[in-house]
Structure 1
Amino acid sequence: MNTDQPDPPTDDAAPSDAADAADATTAAADPPGWLPKVVLFLSGQTVSLFGSMLVQYAVFWYLTITYQSGVIMTLAAIFGFLPQAVVSVFGGVWADRHNRKYLIIGADAAIAASTLVLALLMIGGFDAPWLIFAVLAVRSAGAGIQTPAVAALIPQITPTRHLMRINGINGSIQSAMALLAPAVAGAIYAWSSAVNDGSSAALVPIFFIDVVTAVIGIGLLSFVSVSAVRRAQDAQTGYFADLVDGVRYIAHHEFVRWLLVLFAIIFVLTVAPSNLTPLMLVRSFPAGEAQDVVNLAVLEIAFSVGMMLGGILIATFFAARSRVGLIIVASLVFGVLSIGLGLSPNVWVFFAIMFLVGLAVPFFSTPSMTLLQETVEPERQGRVFGFVGIVMAVAMPLGMVVFGPLADVMPIELLLVAAGILTFVVVGLAVWLPSGRRAIAAARAASTVAKGDPVAGAAVVEQAMHRDAD
């Protein structure tokens, strides 16, 4: 969805070589060696992410098949996300004050260590659910440090004009790993489950793989040279003052505030109910334990194939499209697909709609992250992404607190349909309220300026102000 604004006056006689010269100047201004840094950084994160995905799929499959309880899934969501919300309060500040590379390495190492401890305990015969929840909490806390640091480090080593494409490529790589991970996790878990008679020991091989991938990821990242961020404000400012400054910045930044609200809506009404789709698959389309594992893997693969294709489309055909337009359309599509999941007549339609859900995700996440990277000053990006992590980490388990227990007393299909209808209503309000219109106009202007056209950006803001005044 593009903004139809008149082009600023130009000199028709200007030679076409001027644009080529401008492009050459911009390319020459790119920092030397930025591409190898980005490739090495993304490679390390991809390897580490692959191991984390194996653990995520295997643990949730084990809990789903073993307990088939909405309450257990709710507890898994709470322990898997709420610690990230708490730690992100400080993680964003740390990402703006310290070297982001070392924060990522430290968080990755802590996550791997907790996973190794759980693996050793399970080998010793300890498999109480609270042990799994405890390790989920440690991994979530590590994500509270790692996630804002990663999100802020990408624009630190990537020229602004390449951000949308790099984010799109990164999304496609992660989706490819998400395509491979459930297949690998399913094969290893099915084999190990057969060997261990379905006990929790089936998780141990996957835990060891996660530790190895974390070590590889840390090793690759260690070769990336990253300096601490140069802060425009006083470097002696305390942690609490930095935190307050971040809160004030978000409170007075119309677009960031609006986007955080939209993130909360999507995570409560779309992501939380979607976490019940594995439970719905096992309950509504039962096929026996062995086939249930296969079906759960197919469900994740369908979602991941869609995400990979969506990331490719964003990085190529949609890289220059309106960031805000993509976000709004994707939000509404989530509502349609949630209803579709709830009305699925058979397992194959269910898989097909989950593929479409995955396809829609990059059209929401990639432009959202790119807009934040374009509009937020580098010295504040850590805190802003920290608060993004807080919103996501709180909203999802909050939604599960509602939808999880309800899933034990009413059909999950009905919950998905209701969540889809509510998504239409709330996203519509977020778009049509005056505050939403102002935020959208500001985001479009900032994106236009970031692309190197301040005149058009100013025109967008001025027209938006006139519309609101009317």
Structure 2
Amino acid sequence: MSAPDGHDMPRMSQYLSEETIEEETIATTIEDTSDRSERGWIRRAALLLTGQAFSLLGSSVVQFAIWWWIVLQTRTGSAMLLATLFGVLPQALVSIFGGPMADRYNRKALIVLPDLVIAAVTVLLSIAFATGWASLSLIFVALLIRSAGAGIQQPAVQSFIPDVVPEKGLLRVNSIFGVIDSANRIAAPAIAAVLVNVAPLWSILLVDVTTAVIGVGFVTLIRVPAKPEISRATEDGAGTETGEAAARPVEPLPLAVLCRTFADLKAGFIYTMHHPYLKGAVLGDALTCLMSVAPMNLTLLLMTREYDGLNLDLGFVNLTTASDKLAANELGLSVGLLLGGALMSAIGPRLLGGALARMRAIAFGIAMVGITVVGLGLAPNLLAYLIVDVLNGVASAVCVGPMRTIMQSESDESMTGRVFGLDTMLSTLGMPLGMLVFAPLADVIPIVWVFVSGGVLTLPVAWYVLTLSRRSVPGKR
């Protein structure tokens, strides 16, 4: 090839100059977009957290009212088992689809639509109670539908947070999310205890409808910042190339959706299990739900059996009725969650700046959960029980925030929904599977030993997570 002559040099210089200007303009545009995204994330996070706060408050009030109604009507472990199965198992099964849906479809829509469906079902249940033809079976059906909606919404919410919050703000937002959740847990049982004593159940159910509409309004105000298109991970990692997809035979829509969902689930499972930190967070959450959270679902039964007829005067309140003690049980856990969430929000970003530190915090929190569950069973009196209940909430908050942050920061953006879907599925499956063992035992052995055994079995889970934290992560320093 001949060298360019002197007449061509100015023209080439002009072309190079134009290319340089164009590249600088593109870079400046990207930087400006990034700056605007960075400046607006606090507003977006505030809208999301506020909307979820209203939604959680209404759901918690109604959930407490329903569970207390079941406990006070039956007082049996078998009824609690059925309530857990209908209230939790659908979420585990639906989350199989919810995680991949959060990766493929509009996450904001997947947050809003389940809230509206759950509100509609709650209205129908309220009408049933008002007209006098409600029953335990109908409540179980309502719990099933509410749980199924959460199976879609929960992975969508957790996957939506990284869309509107930069990585530097994830731990703080997750910790604040935990604080809001804990505050709702504090307010909800107090509100439910008051409402149960002064209002019929049908009117209490309408609280969830009102807060759902308010929460949906806040979420719809969020404007998601545009992101550059990213390549999806490969199928043994995550997806397939366009050419391969085009070569596949066309399948009927329901079958295609089912096949794609299970392919996404398989890809998410393989992706998670090959990443030690993600594996530790997901399996740690699931095994803790199996060993500790399952017996903790029997705390309402423990309160009605072990502390029935015993009063406790705390100075500012006197616990006498069954609803007072049930509310105090929930409030103790919620106060602990609030304190733990506030602690993690204040010092977490400074002390847990790296993934390794977060994994160690998860292991420590799981160990403390196991120890406090043992304490709930062995508490000598109601006051000691409530103190341990608060500590149990602190321990839970210590591990929940880092768990969510690990799953958000360590997973590829295209896989975040699948990782959270897998976590939701395994953790929500762990609870009913544990209840299948612990709930029948509560009817044949002293219930305190159910708590002792569950807490002791949780301690090896903490050691397992700590062991995984020492393994190197592919692609990381």
Q: Same fold (TM over 0.5)?
A: yes
Q: Is the Cα–Cα contact under 8 Å of residues 82 and 140 in structure 1 kept in the other structure?
A: yes
Shift of 1:290: 6.8
Give, as a single letter, the amino acid of the residue that structure 2 aligns with 1:332: A
**Residue 218 of structure 2 corresponds to which residue in structure 1?**
220
Shift of 1:32: 3.4
Q: Is the Cα–Cα contact under 8 Å of residues 171 and 348 in structure 2 kept in the other structure?
A: no
**Residue 376 of structure 2 corresponds to which residue in structure 1?**
341
Give, as a single letter, the amino acid of the residue that structure 1 aligns with 2:128: L
Helix, strand or coil: the match of 1:410?
coil
Deviations 1:257-312 (A, max 9, x none): 23222112100111111111111111000039971101111111111111111111
Kindly indicate whether residue 332 of structure 2 is the aligned counterpart of residue 302 of structure 1.
yes
Quick one: which of 374, 383, 388 aligns to 2:423? 388
Which stretch of structure 1 is more off in the superposition, 221-230 or 351-360? Answer: 221-230
Change (3 A) 1:429 1:235: closer
Give, as a single letter, the amino acid of the residue that structure 2 aligns with 1:90: F
Residue ranges of structure 1 left out of the alignment (5+ in a row):
1-24, 193-201, 447-456, 459-470
Q: Is the Cα–Cα contact under 8 Å of residues 100 and 228 in structure 1 kept in the other structure?
A: no
Q: Is the Cα–Cα contact under 8 Å of residues 329 and 386 in structure 2 kept in the other structure?
A: yes
Q: Distance in 2 between matches of 1:262 and 1:62?
A: 32
Shift of 1:49: 0.7
Kindly indicate whether residue 304 of structure 2 is the aligned counterpart of residue 282 of structure 1.
yes
Quick one: which of 139, 143, 147 aligns to 1:132? 139
Kindly indicate whether residue 411 of structure 2 is the aligned counterpart of residue 413 of structure 1.
no
Quick one: which of 198, 208, 211 aligns to 2:209? 211
Q: Is the Cα–Cα contact under 8 Å of residues 103 and 146 in structure 1 kept in the other structure?
A: yes
Q: Distance in 1 between matches of 2:45 and 2:465?
A: 35
**Residue 267 of structure 1 corresponds to which residue in structure 2?**
289
Aligned-residue CA RMSD in angstroms? 2.3
Helix, strand or coil: the match of 2:443?
coil
Quick one: which of 247, 254, 271 aligns to 2:276? 254
Change (3 A) 1:174 1:419: same
**Residue 112 of structure 1 corresponds to which residue in structure 2?**
119
Helix, strand or coil: the match of 1:211?
helix
Deviations 1:69-122 (A, max 9, x none): 001001111111111111111111111111100111111111111111111111
Give, as a single letter, the amino acid of the residue that structure 2 aligns with 1:244: K
Change (3 A) 1:70 1:246: same
Helix, strand or coil: the match of 1:33?
helix
Q: Distance in 2 between matches of 1:400 and 1:295?
A: 23
**Residue 457 of structure 2 corresponds to which residue in structure 1?**
422
Q: Distance in 1 between matches of 2:171 and 2:460?
A: 29
Q: Distance in 1 between matches of 2:464 and 2:230?
A: 37
Q: Distance in 1 between matches of 2:164 and 2:225?
A: 10
Kindly indicate whether residue 158 of structure 2 is the aligned counterpart of residue 160 of structure 1.
no
TM-score (norm 2): 0.81
Residue ranges of structure 2 left out of the alignment (5+ in a row):
1-31, 233-239, 246-255, 311-318
Q: Distance in 2 between matches of 1:228 and 1:410?
A: 57
Kindly indicate whether residue 388 of structure 2 is the aligned counterpart of residue 357 of structure 1.
no
Change (3 A) 1:190 1:228: farther
**Residue 433 of structure 2 corresponds to which residue in structure 1?**
398
Greater Rg by CA: 2
Q: Is the Cα–Cα contact under 8 Å of residues 362 and 465 in structure 2 kept in the other structure?
A: no
Q: Is the Cα–Cα contact under 8 Å of residues 339 and 417 in structure 1 kept in the other structure?
A: yes
Kindly indicate whether residue 107 of structure 2 is the aligned counterpart of residue 100 of structure 1.
yes
Change (3 A) 1:429 1:165: closer
Q: Is the Cα–Cα contact under 8 Å of residues 99 and 227 in structure 1 kept in the other structure?
A: no
Q: Is the Cα–Cα contact under 8 Å of residues 277 and 359 in structure 2 kept in the other structure?
A: no
Q: Distance in 2 between matches of 1:235 and 1:431?
A: 37
**Number of positions where the alignment pairs a residue of Structure 1 with one of Structure 2:** 410
Equivalent residues in 2 for 1:304-319, closer than 5 Å: 304-319=334-349
Q: Is the Cα–Cα contact under 8 Å of residues 172 and 312 in structure 1 kept in the other structure?
A: yes
Q: Distance in 2 between matches of 1:401 and 1:412?
A: 15
Shift of 1:205: 1.6
Q: Is the Cα–Cα contact under 8 Å of residues 359 and 469 in structure 2 kept in the other structure?
A: no
Q: Which runs of 4+ in 1 moved over 4 A?
A: 27-30, 227-231, 234-238
Give, as a single letter, the amino acid of the residue that structure 1 aligns with 2:284: L
Give, as a single letter, the amino acid of the residue that structure 1 aligns with 2:152: I
Q: Is the Cα–Cα contact under 8 Å of residues 44 and 222 in structure 2 kept in the other structure?
A: yes
Sequence identity of aligned pairs in percent?
37
Q: Is the Cα–Cα contact under 8 Å of residues 176 and 304 in structure 1 kept in the other structure?
A: yes
Q: Distance in 1 between matches of 2:119 and 2:35?
A: 41
Change (3 A) 1:394 1:113: same
Give, as a single letter, the amino acid of the residue that structure 2 aligns with 1:408: D
TM-score (norm 1): 0.83
Quick one: which of 222, 245, 266 aligns to 1:244? 266
Change (3 A) 1:409 1:105: same
Deviations 1:32-71 (A, max 9, x none): 3111111011111110110000011111111111100001
Q: Is the Cα–Cα contact under 8 Å of residues 335 and 419 in structure 1 kept in the other structure?
A: yes
Shift of 1:126: 1.6
Shift of 1:227: 6.5
Q: Distance in 1 between matches of 2:334 and 2:375?
A: 18
**Residue 321 of structure 2 corresponds to which residue in structure 1?**
291
Kindly indicate whether residue 63 of structure 2 is the aligned counterpart of residue 56 of structure 1.
yes
Deviations 1:374-406 (A, max 9, x none): 100111111110111101110001111110111
Q: Is the Cα–Cα contact under 8 Å of residues 265 and 422 in structure 2 kept in the other structure?
A: no
Change (3 A) 1:42 1:235: farther
Q: Is the Cα–Cα contact under 8 Å of residues 97 and 228 in structure 1 kept in the other structure?
A: no
**Residue 414 of structure 2 corresponds to which residue in structure 1?**
379
Q: Is the Cα–Cα contact under 8 Å of residues 88 and 432 in structure 2 kept in the other structure?
A: yes
